[in-house]
A and B are shown apart, each in its own frame.
Chain A
């Protein structure tokens, strides 16, 4: 699992990244739902005048800030759990489409937990994180994982690939 690379175990490993992602996903999901389903109707009712736009301006700005934090947590988790680009795109979109965040959080959690449950059969650690590359010593290269370490991700069972 995360033992193959020392970079991986930092900050609680994949499980820690999952916990941070979940907190941020729920926060961003609640924030966006509040803006879309409370703030914007109030703004429309009040014809864009001050007391009516309070929710949009306060929660919206806060959501803008937290969305950056959310994106960073997504990138961290995606690198550690080796998500595909499409899956990362889904996580990014769930901060923009209301209520999608809750669904994505559920799916991602199931997936990463299944992957963690594989233990030694899980795919090897993240190929690269930006902070890992910045912190790594120049001479030390991470060896490429042997093919036998590759397992099925998310289905809970390792497979042997017949060539």
Chain B
């Protein structure tokens, strides 16, 4: 039973035992002397201090025989796998896009982005043919097509 009596925790408990219990007994002896010199209340204290010493021994015995053996119930034992990540960190989930979750606004906006990327603008009442806006990526296309339409006929 090396763990029980010789672990670091056990040595702390032994240290507490050899300091607290004699301390209580010394205090009890002091109260005995006071009681014999005429202090009535000290008769009671001279009984109480030895009881404290006894309870200290009881607590020491209980804590020594508590079979936790290094297992700490308070904290889960952590195993560090990486210096960059804490162990309780949730690993990042792979990005999965569910189109069914898009709102109508988002769908409309994505549609708008798609038309922009395709080099054509949306057809609106101000732009019925869906011509690209000036300054966008499609602007060069306009010039080219305009030049074509000019030269074609």
The answer to whether A128 and B65 have CB atoms under 8 Å apart is yes
Known: A82-B66, A88-B63. A150 touches B71 (CB 8 A): yes
Known: A82-B66, A126-B66, A128-B65. A88 touches B59 (CB 8 A): yes
The answer to whether B66 and A128 have CB atoms under 8 Å apart is yes
Contacts of B51 in A (CB 8 A): 68
Q: What does DSSP make chain B's interface, helix, strand, loop or mixed?
A: helix
B13 touches A (CB below 8 Å): yes
Q: How many residues of A contact B (CB 8 A)?
A: 32
The answer to whether B76 and A159 have CB atoms under 8 Å apart is yes
Contacts of A152 in B (CB 8 A): 73-74, 76
Which of these, B55, B67, B71, B74, contacts A71 with CB under 8 Å? B55
- B32 → chain A closest CB, angstroms: 16
Which among B51, B52, B76 has the highest number of chain A CB atoms within 10 Å?
B76
The answer to whether B41 and A57 have CB atoms under 8 Å apart is yes
Q: Footprint of A on B, CB under 8 Å?
A: 9, 12-13, 16, 41, 44-45, 48, 51-52, 55, 58-59, 61-63, 65-68, 71, 73-74, 76-77, 79
Sampled A-B contacts (12; CB under 8 Å) = A61-B41, A75-B62, A85-B12, A123-B73, A127-B66, A128-B65, A128-B67, A129-B62, A133-B65, A150-B71, A150-B73, A152-B73
